Structure 1
Amino acid sequence: MTTSEGIARPVAADSSRAPGPAPTGPTAPPGPSGLAAPSGPSGLAAPSGPSGLAGLLRGRGLRRGQDDFAVELDGFNLITEHDPDLIAVVADAADVRAAVAYAAARELPIAVQATGHGPSNPADRGLLISTRKLRGVTIDPLARSARAEGGVQWYEVVQAAAEYGLAPLSGSSPLTGVTGYTLGGGLGLLARRYGYAADLVTAVEVVTADGRAHRATADRDTDLFWALRGGTGNFGVVTALEFGLVPVARLYGGGLFFPGDAAADVLHAWRVWTGSVPDELTSSFALLRLPDIEAVPDFLRGRLTAHIRIAHLGSADSGADLVAPLRAAAPLVVDTLAEIPYTRSGEIHTDPIEPMPYHARSLMLRELDETAADGLLALAGPGADCIDLVVELRQLGGALGRPAPVPNAVDHRDAAFALSTVSLPDGRPPLVVDGMAPWGTGRRLLNLLASPDTAHLARTGYEPATYARLADVKARVDPKNLFRFNHNIPPLAQPARPL
């Protein structure tokens, strides 16, 4: 089908699958550890040898060298080259349990991939579980909630929710996977009004390293539920998420594009302006250096451009009044701001739609004063020795600075701005991110880290106490660190509490 953004993609929602959790066996109430007794068998008997995996699955089990093996490795970010021994293209949650149990019985490390937007450690041998065929989407308009299986992309939820005048806390790209984005926190277009995507998650269906299925909620598997929402993919294979939706059908959104030589005027105008805008307005400032190729619009090709991205929950008139100081900051090249349905929200950032190799790096900033803005301009503005495709500042604050309704592992709520860069794999160090360290909190948003050279930075995504608690939960659900091909949090040698 074709989305409203004009992006040709697979069928959006699989209505043939019944909603609700994966089939499970009897369960016991939560114990003192905060991890409930999981459902399902402790392991699944499997034929020996790699070929035995295929016989366990409704989907496909592939060995290195088989047809389609290389095709199944591809993700959106081509910088990470996976090299597993086996691939399980799972068809349902039962397949996930079987694949994980198969790997656990042989102590094979496990990688998980849906869309491949934010890879870090490449799979080195072991098993890669592809969840891309888990595409069921269910909307409950009365509860204002959604259930999305592990391979769903945001455009599928956006379209399904829009039928009821609702929207998810999706990100800048409609092609990003719901699961990976949300497990990393999820900094989206409506973030200052509604918080991180992880903040609205109400249930996580996950298969842990022993092959057992859990349905973690605020009342069951509470430690696991806390860790999954912000702890990325360290704790198992998520087969489905349930999360709240917000009453948004339309917004005032789009972009203001300015010539690169006006970058200083535009950045300083935006910096001052962010100090007075309401939580209903989420915005970012970006410096674009896009290549001179046909895939890039003419006015952006081969030149430096300053780009302000706007998502305002209000009328076109109120939005126009709010952004008037920005429109007056410098002569405009292109102005796309308009009242649009949320189904067109992918037009705000205009993220790429074709796979490509890239580094993504980030740093949380405690402030953006005049000196910090000048520092960024020296690193990435006109005349700078910068070749990053995108250097972006996202305003935080608002709901992002408040605790989640149910506590989770998303930290850095005291940061004022999020700095991120996207660059081609040219071997250069992250000069912009490193150069802005004097204004940084020392923390990073893991959603905005991608490529193997960021894999060691997982610890910087959290405060020390949060990281220690995540490592403790890891020790209780994945003591052998089978799920290690990610921004890895190694398990504590001795967990604080047994299962």
Structure 2
Amino acid sequence: MSITTPEEHIPPAGPLDVTKLDAAVAGPVLTPDDADYPTELAGFNAAATPAPAVVVGATSPADVAEAVRYARANGLRVGVRATGHGPAISGRGHLTITTSRMTDIQVDAAAKTARVAAGVRWRDLATATAPHGLTGLAGSSSSVGIVGYTLGGGLSPLGRQFGFAADRVRRIELVTADGVIRTVDAGAGSDLFWALLGGRDGCGIVTAIEFDLVDLATIYGGGVFFGGDAAEQVLHAWRDWAPTLPDTAGSSVAIVRLPPDPNLPPPLQGQTVVHLRFTYTGDPAVGTQMLAPMMSAGPVLLSNVDVLPTAALDAVHMDPPGPLPSVERGCGIRDLPAEAVDAVLAVAGPQVASPLAIVEIRLLGGALASPQGVPNAVTGRAARYCVMAIGVPAGPLGDQAGSHVAAVNGALSPWASDGLLNFAGQTPAAELSTLWTAADWSRLEEIRRRHDPAGMFTRIG
């Protein structure tokens, strides 16, 4: 595959003329002077609203291609935004393409595949696949966009059995730096295919992906909330118990500081709790026995573990449904000795006055440890656990959110392993390359330079 080399990008000095672009695309073309500009760019993280020079609300791959050609002609860098869960770009020299209007879904129940456009969320696909007893490898929240999640790897609560979402991708449609719409797979355009699946950024704007579905209508799973005073005993019990689970089971445990929200169950309102999450794809009776040792690890405030349709996977993690300001960063760790648990408790336990809304430790391993399908650039396969800290930059301790998030990651540095790109959060750009092996990072950068030599597409590292 060959593409035209764009000219070196020099941000324009004066106002941009978007008249021709506006006429060429079906969706809206907005600048900071337009009333709908803030709404078009609004996303899940209220603390990370971008402010590009131009935003294009794409309705089709053709709109994306027009926007990329316009950016190339005007010396602009290009980024994409679907649901607003991912990173954002800002500044005079940037154009942002929003893909939320691109919502086409095609499910082939016989072949057990789905093809989704760039703006589709997991909850939309679940509605289409559930009647067939099929599911995609969604993450902890169904409000997340499928494309960005999958390109970053895609860690599902079902991942220990089925691998990363990226492992199941068949084809990718994208717009490359020359403004051409292309389709790549493990054969045609295999270098781009490899880099996009796990490398996520810097090679083009993905407009659709096709992937295999899982034949799974229900799971046994949910969450158990323990009182915060029992955090030490629950986390240490989980540390001993989680590695004994079969690959058909998944689990994480989190210290959660909940707001005094009347929409929460009364036992949880305004409390610091420990939230155990559990999934199992086998016999519910076996799952109940499997979970039993943890049910006596501390005082249970609330439990919602039951047989669930896979479309209701949100019930396991119970992530916040609406936008929130947040600062976050995660890391992978190769082991979880007692000292590592104690290190987390020392900086983020219930006894600490903290702006951290959640500190989660998630069990990896199983099918996540090696590619289950096509070769790809997904990171984090060597880690046995991943840890995510999320702080709220608001309230009395809001200005300390970043330092508390960094403290959690720093406390675990003695056990650090390669982490997951989608969990990197505010990891400094200079450190992101260490998520990959030296050989994979070198290959990823070579592919990016070859397909986008002028660096028009925003990239990590």
* CA distance in structure 2 between the partners assigned to 1:259 and 1:435 by the alignment: 24
Supply the AA of the counterpart residue of 1:159. Answer: T
Matched, 1:462 2:436: yes
Deviation at 1:74, TM superposition (A): 0.8
1:30-60 C-alpha deviation (Å, 9 max, x unpaired): xxxxxx2569xx9xxxxx9222210110112
Tell me if the contact between 2:75 and 2:93 (Cα under 8 Å) persists in the aligned partners. no
Matched, 1:60 2:36: no
Matched, 1:182 2:156: no
- One of 437, 440, 451 as aligned partner of 2:413: 437
Tell me if the contact between 1:183 and 1:198 (Cα under 8 Å) persists in the aligned partners. yes
Deviation at 1:123, TM superposition (A): 4.9
The range that moved more, 165-174 or 125-134, is: 125-134
* CA distance in structure 2 between the partners assigned to 1:142 and 1:267 by the alignment: 43
The range that moved more, 212-221 or 458-467, is: 458-467
CA RMSD after TM alignment: 1.8
* CA distance in structure 1 between the partners assigned to 2:423 and 2:35 by the alignment: 33
Deviation at 1:461, TM superposition (A): 2.5
Supply the AA of the counterpart residue of 2:454. Answer: K
Deviation at 1:407, TM superposition (A): 1.1
1:419-434 to 2 correspondences below 5 Å: 419-425=387-393, 426-428=398-400, 429=403, 430-434=406-410
The answer for the alignment partner of 1:320 in structure 2 is 288
Matched, 1:446 2:421: yes
Matched, 1:173 2:141: yes
* TM-score in terms of structure 1 length: 0.85
* CA distance in structure 2 between the partners assigned to 1:99 and 1:391 by the alignment: 39
Matched, 1:270 2:246: no
Matched, 1:198 2:166: yes
Please give the secondary structure, in 2, of the residue aligned with 1:383. Answer: coil
Tell me if the contact between 1:120 and 1:450 (Cα under 8 Å) persists in the aligned partners. no
Matched, 1:132 2:108: no
Deviation at 1:124, TM superposition (A): 4.7
Matched, 1:82 2:50: yes
Deviation at 1:457, TM superposition (A): 4.1
Tell me if the contact between 2:43 and 2:49 (Cα under 8 Å) persists in the aligned partners. no
Deviation at 1:376, TM superposition (A): 1.5
* CA distance in structure 1 between the partners assigned to 2:264 and 2:329 by the alignment: 22
Q: Structure 1 residues 386 and 373 mapped into 2: Cα distance closer, same or farther (>3 Å)?
A: same
* CA distance in structure 2 between the partners assigned to 1:38 and 1:209 by the alignment: 7
Tell me if the contact between 1:230 and 1:408 (Cα under 8 Å) persists in the aligned partners. yes
1:298-317 C-alpha deviation (Å, 9 max, x unpaired): 32232210110111101221
1:116-155 C-alpha deviation (Å, 9 max, x unpaired): 1122544554211011100011111111111010000001
* CA distance in structure 1 between the partners assigned to 2:221 and 2:326 by the alignment: 27
Deviation at 1:64, TM superposition (A): 2.4
Equivalent pairs, count: 443
- One of 116, 127, 132 as aligned partner of 1:159: 127
Sequence identity percentage: 38
Please give the secondary structure, in 1, of the residue aligned with 2:244. Answer: coil
Tell me if the contact between 2:220 and 2:307 (Cα under 8 Å) persists in the aligned partners. yes
- One of 474, 477, 483 as aligned partner of 2:457: 483
The range that moved more, 84-93 or 402-411, is: 402-411
Supply the AA of the counterpart residue of 2:422. Answer: N
The answer for the alignment partner of 1:350 in structure 2 is 318
The answer for the alignment partner of 1:15 in structure 2 is none
The answer for the alignment partner of 2:258 in structure 1 is 290
More strand per residue: 2
Supply the AA of the counterpart residue of 1:399. Answer: A
Tell me if the contact between 1:120 and 1:455 (Cα under 8 Å) persists in the aligned partners. no
* CA distance in structure 2 between the partners assigned to 1:386 and 1:63 by the alignment: 38
* CA distance in structure 2 between the partners assigned to 1:302 and 1:427 by the alignment: 20
Supply the AA of the counterpart residue of 1:367. Answer: D
Deviation at 1:402, TM superposition (A): 2.0
* TM-score in terms of structure 2 length: 0.92
More helix per residue: 2
Tell me if the contact between 2:79 and 2:88 (Cα under 8 Å) persists in the aligned partners. no
The answer for the alignment partner of 1:8 in structure 2 is none
The answer for the alignment partner of 1:309 in structure 2 is 277
Supply the AA of the counterpart residue of 1:199. Answer: D
Structure 1 unaligned residues grouped into runs of 5+: 1-35, 43-47, 490-499
Please give the secondary structure, in 2, of the residue aligned with 1:171. Answer: coil
The answer for the alignment partner of 1:49 in structure 2 is 17
- One of 300, 305, 323 as aligned partner of 2:268: 300
* CA distance in structure 2 between the partners assigned to 1:122 and 1:351 by the alignment: 27
* CA distance in structure 1 between the partners assigned to 2:68 and 2:27 by the alignment: 14
The answer for the alignment partner of 1:257 in structure 2 is 225
* CA distance in structure 2 between the partners assigned to 1:301 and 1:125 by the alignment: 45
